[in-house]
């Protein structure tokens, strides 16, 4: 409630949203998931239930309280909970020995981010994924769609009504190759 623009929603994700968002993923092919803004861990728990025993989750949140909560509530060696910003995902991954993520899942509210920051965040996310990586997003608005289409060869969409608020769902696959114009 203190920072309403810093969270995607004041309500936790419903089981319907979680199941719809995660259903299309072949979890046996995922070795590392990066989760942006895990909050109280609704998706984190579901990811731990689905991931193979040798996989890892790198959960990144700016809130020390949320990170402390994850560490206290989820005693699982596969979970690495880090206080930080998704803007620094590459550094955070490197700090934890992760070269590339197979999947990034985000509920960060791209519609409330300044457009230049949203574009930078998508750029760094795109660069952090393996060549066959996935970017999953659940959003109240469609602001993320053009960014996904710019960075990924395939973008599938859905909508989950059984959530407060209802959410747009995005499954982006196959990050496009970088070009010289993409920057360093």
Positive or negative torsion for Cα 179, 115, 10, 158: negative
Q: Is the pTM value of this prediction over 0.85? A: yes
Backbone phi, psi, residue 94, to 5° = -60, -40
Give the 3-state secondary structure of residue 160.
strand
Q: Per-10-residue mean pLDDT for the chain, 184 residues long?
A: 46 95 97 97 98 97 97 97 98 97 97 96 96 96 97 97 97 80 48
d(CA 115, CA 34): 22
Name all domains of the chain by residue range, CATH numbers in brackets.
11-176 (3.40.50.150)
CA proximity to 80, closest of 106, 98, 65: 98
Give the 3-state secondary structure of residue 155.
strand
């Amino acid at each position: 409630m203190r920072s309403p623009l810093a969270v995607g929603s004041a309500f936790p994700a419903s089981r319907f949203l979680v199941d719809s968002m995660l259903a299309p993923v072949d979890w046996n092919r995922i070795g590392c998931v990066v989760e942006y803004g895990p909050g109280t861990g609704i998706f984190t728990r579901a990811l731990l239930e689905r991931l193979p025993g040798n996989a890892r989750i790198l959960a990144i949140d700016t809130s020390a309280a949320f990170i402390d909560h994850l560490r206290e509530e989820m005693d699982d060696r596969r979970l690495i909970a880090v206080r930080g910003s998704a803007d620094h995902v590459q550094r955070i991954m490197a700090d934890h020995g992760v070269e590339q993520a197979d999947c990034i899942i985000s509920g960060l509210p791209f519609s409330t981010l300044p457009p230049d920051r949203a574009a930078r965040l998508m750029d760094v996310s795109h660069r952090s994924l393996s060549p066959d990586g996935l970017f999953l997003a659940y959003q109240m608005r469609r602001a993320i769609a053009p960014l996904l289409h710019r960075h990924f060869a395939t973008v599938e969409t859905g909508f989950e009504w059984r959530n407060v608020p209802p959410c747009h769902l995005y499954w982006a696959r196959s990050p496009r190759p970088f070009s010289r114009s993409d920057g360093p």
